[in-house]
A and B are shown apart, each in its own frame.
Chain A
Amino acid sequence: MSLTKRGGDLNMKEKQELQVTDVFTKSRIFTYLWIVFCPPYGLYRVLSPSSEFRRPEKWVWTMIVICTLVTFVKLIITG
């Protein structure tokens, strides 16, 4: 196989991988801000059918929002 083709294959494989630009799109950045300032709406944006989040990410963000909310309530209760 020629070097050019092999290099091209490698670049194709790299493109199939998740890139930084994929996780920092405009819509996603807004969702991240909502998760900090209003976690329930942030979670709604993560789980909505039009969301850009991939299946594994939906799982992890759900877990994180739940943990954040529990900690937030605990902090308010305990002062």
Chain B
Amino acid sequence: MHKIWGNAKRFNVNTVYTVEMEEKMKDKLMNGMLSAAGAMQTQRHLAAIKNAFMSLLPIIIIGSFCTLFSNVICNTTPGFFSLANIPGLSFLGKLNPMFTAANYGTMNFIAIGCVILIAMELGEHYGITDKALPVVALGAYISLCAFTASGKAADGTEVVVTNVLSRVYTNAQGLFVGMFASIAATEIYCRLVKSGKLEIHMPDGVPSNVARSFTILFPSLITVVIISAVGMIFEMVTGMTLFNAITAFIQKPLSHILTSFPGYITLIFITTVLWTFGIHGTQVTKAVYEPILLAAFAENEAAYAAGTAIPNIISTPFMSCFSTVTGAGITGGLIIAIMLFSKREDYKAIAKLALPCALFNINEPLTFGLPIVMNPVLAIPFMISPAVSATFAYAMTKIGFCGRMVVNAPWTTPPGLMAFLCSGGNIGAAVTQIICILLAFVVYIPFVLISNKQQVLTEE
């Protein structure tokens, strides 16, 4: 359609000027978008965070599936719906320690894993692959944590235990501070090592590995002491630990924004806008939203394991289930719309090819095949349908029809099954996910009809 308008405008000099201006504006806009996306994608800290979370993804999935298995298969609590409670299958209860241990070992040590991974990823960026670096980063992070934990004893009295590290610091709640501590420690360490001023030179006869441990002795010591001193001074001045301050003044407000409905809609809108310019929106924004949504998911998962009320509606699996199901832009709806309403043979051929991929939430054949990228007609519903779907799913969850997300299934799990698994076996969630695809289908219909007319005009 754009091409036809362009041809019509070339009939006089003024409109040619307008077309040129339009092209220039478009180029400027694209340049701006590419610069911003490029800066985010190549920024070393964000790249380290993204890689770290990608490495953590299997750990999170294993942990959440173990929760599901220990609750749905191996739970022997009387009155609880579980396979182990079915007569003849009670032996499944014996497997419970295995899944509980795997869940504990994964979900409760995410923050520690994150600190180690970020330090090593960032260190590799600087060309420093010392084995001491992740240990130093971990030491720096631990120095910001309190070593006392309080709780209630069986008789209801308040008990304070000293010389322990609360799981608050090692599970998803510690992710945010862990990220900051790891980045700060790695930056200090790498700069000190690279400067070479703190090296202790050993005689030639000393083995190289022994000499290396002396070379990194002072950088390691200074890094941990600096981070620890910052934490101590902060606590002396403000009366609260740096961990609590970052959690209260940065993590919680950010979490409230991203796990609130308007904040979430804005996030997915930005993601799809980037996609329509050919930029992998999810990859670009991941470093910002992943720690927050993951922490929200971990809270849900812990509540599910403890059998208490699930606190958050919006979390990582909510995004996979209701905003990116069948691919970003919920392009499964587009495939159905094309198959039923499109008169374009090229669209139909691509839709047929894309269908098997869409069943596993992959939509590259459509985004780059139709294409949706830089296609103003299809870009509009591509941006609208995830917002419509998320709104519907949020409302359904709010009224209790759709279960809250407590398991993080792999993103390639087929629609319907994915929501069923992620909600811990809730049929309402599976139905909601299917309705979301149908809603996307309704959103895409008018635009598929426009593309039909576009084809007719081009042929004419």
B117 adjacent to chain A (CB < 8 Å)? yes
Q: A3-B31, A71-B100 are in contact. Are A56 and B58 (CB under 8 A)?
A: no
Which of A7, A23, A59 meets B134, CB within 8 Å? A59
Q: Which residues of A contact B233 (CB under 8 A)?
A: none
Q: How many residues of A contact B (CB 8 A)?
A: 39
Determine the residue in chain A with the shortest Cβ distance to B277: A7
Q: A10-B34, A68-B105 are in contact. Are A75 and B97 (CB under 8 A)?
A: yes
Which of B38, B57, B278 meets A20, CB within 8 Å? B57
Interface SS, A side:
helix
B266 adjacent to chain A (CB < 8 Å)? no
B246 adjacent to chain A (CB < 8 Å)? no
Taken together as a complex, chains A and B put the C-alpha atoms of A55 and B120 apart, in Å, by: 8
**A-contacting 9-mer, from B48-56, B200-208, B375-383, B430-438:** B48-56
B129 adjacent to chain A (CB < 8 Å)? yes
B255 adjacent to chain A (CB < 8 Å)? no
Whether B38 lies near A9 (C-beta < 8 A) is yes
Whether B117 lies near A56 (C-beta < 8 A) is yes
Which of B37, B55, B105 meets A57, CB within 8 Å? B55
Taken together as a complex, chains A and B put the C-alpha atoms of A55 and B129 apart, in Å, by: 9
Determine the residue in chain B with the shortest Cβ distance to A62: B116
Whether B34 lies near A6 (C-beta < 8 A) is yes
Q: A24-B410, A72-B101 are in contact. Are A10 and B55 (CB under 8 A)?
A: no
Q: A14-B280, A32-B58 are in contact. Are A75 and B101 (CB under 8 A)?
A: yes
Whether B54 lies near A68 (C-beta < 8 A) is no
Interface 1/0s, chain A 12-29, versus B by CB < 8 A?
011001111011100010
Whether A60 lies near B27 (C-beta < 8 A) is no
Q: Which residues of A contact B121 (CB under 8 A)?
A: 56
Which of A3-55 touch B at CB < 8 Å?
Answer: 3, 6-7, 9-10, 13-14, 17-20, 22-24, 28, 32, 35-37, 39, 54-55
Q: Which residues of A contact B411 (CB under 8 A)?
A: 20
Taken together as a complex, chains A and B put the C-alpha atoms of A35 and B108 apart, in Å, by: 16
User: What is the CB-to-nearest-CB distance from B317 to chain A, in angstroms, rounded to a whole number?
Assistant: 15
Q: Which residues of B contact A7 (CB under 8 A)?
A: 34, 278
Taken together as a complex, chains A and B put the C-alpha atoms of A3 and B373 apart, in Å, by: 14
Q: A10-B34, A23-B57 are in contact. Are A63 and B97 (CB under 8 A)?
A: no
Determine the residue in chain A with the shortest Cβ distance to B99: A36
Determine the residue in chain A with the shortest Cβ distance to B170: A67
Taken together as a complex, chains A and B put the C-alpha atoms of A54 and B52 apart, in Å, by: 11
Determine the residue in chain A with the shortest Cβ distance to B282: A20
Taken together as a complex, chains A and B put the C-alpha atoms of A17 and B124 apart, in Å, by: 13
Whether A3 lies near B34 (C-beta < 8 A) is yes
Q: A3-B30, A35-B102, A71-B101 are in contact. Are A10 and B279 (CB under 8 A)?
A: yes
Q: Which residues of B contact A54 (CB under 8 A)?
A: 55
Q: Which residues of A contact B129 (CB under 8 A)?
A: 55
Determine the residue in chain B with the shortest Cβ distance to A9: B38
Q: Which residues of A contact B260 (CB under 8 A)?
A: none
Taken together as a complex, chains A and B put the C-alpha atoms of A57 and B120 apart, in Å, by: 9
Q: How many residues of B contact A (CB 8 A)?
A: 47
Q: A19-B54, A60-B55, A63-B112 are in contact. Are A10 and B106 (CB under 8 A)?
A: no
Q: Which residues of A contact B101 (CB under 8 A)?
A: 68-69, 71-72, 75
Determine the residue in chain B with the shortest Cβ distance to A29: B58
Interface 1/0s, chain B 78-112, versus A by CB < 8 A?
00000000000000000001111110111011001
User: What is the CB-to-nearest-CB distance from B170 to chain A, in angstroms, rounded to a whole number?
Assistant: 9
Taken together as a complex, chains A and B put the C-alpha atoms of A28 and B34 apart, in Å, by: 34
Q: Which residues of A contact B66 (CB under 8 A)?
A: 36
User: What is the CB-to-nearest-CB distance from A24 to chain B, in angstroms, rounded to a whole number?
Assistant: 7
Taken together as a complex, chains A and B put the C-alpha atoms of A65 and B112 apart, in Å, by: 13
Q: A6-B34, A18-B54, A71-B104 are in contact. Are A63 and B116 (CB under 8 A)?
A: yes
B41 adjacent to chain A (CB < 8 Å)? yes
Whether A63 lies near B54 (C-beta < 8 A) is no
Whether A64 lies near B109 (C-beta < 8 A) is yes
Taken together as a complex, chains A and B put the C-alpha atoms of A19 and B30 apart, in Å, by: 25
Taken together as a complex, chains A and B put the C-alpha atoms of A7 and B112 apart, in Å, by: 36
Whether A10 lies near B41 (C-beta < 8 A) is yes
Whether A28 lies near B51 (C-beta < 8 A) is no
Whether B104 lies near A23 (C-beta < 8 A) is no
Interface positions of A (Cβ within 8 A of B): 3, 6-7, 9-10, 13-14, 17-20, 22-24, 28, 32, 35-37, 39, 54-57, 59-61, 63-72, 75-76
A7-B278, A23-B54, A68-B102 known, 5 other contacts, Cβ within 8 Å: A18-B55, A56-B121, A67-B105, A75-B100, A76-B97
Please list 30 pairs of residues, one from A and one from B, whose beta carbons are closer than 8 Å in the complex, sorted by A's number. A3-B30, A3-B31, A7-B278, A10-B34, A13-B38, A13-B42, A14-B280, A17-B50, A17-B54, A19-B54, A20-B54, A20-B411, A24-B58, A24-B410, A36-B99, A36-B102, A54-B55, A55-B129, A56-B55, A59-B120, A60-B55, A60-B59, A63-B109, A63-B113, A67-B104, A68-B104, A68-B106, A72-B97, A72-B98, A75-B100
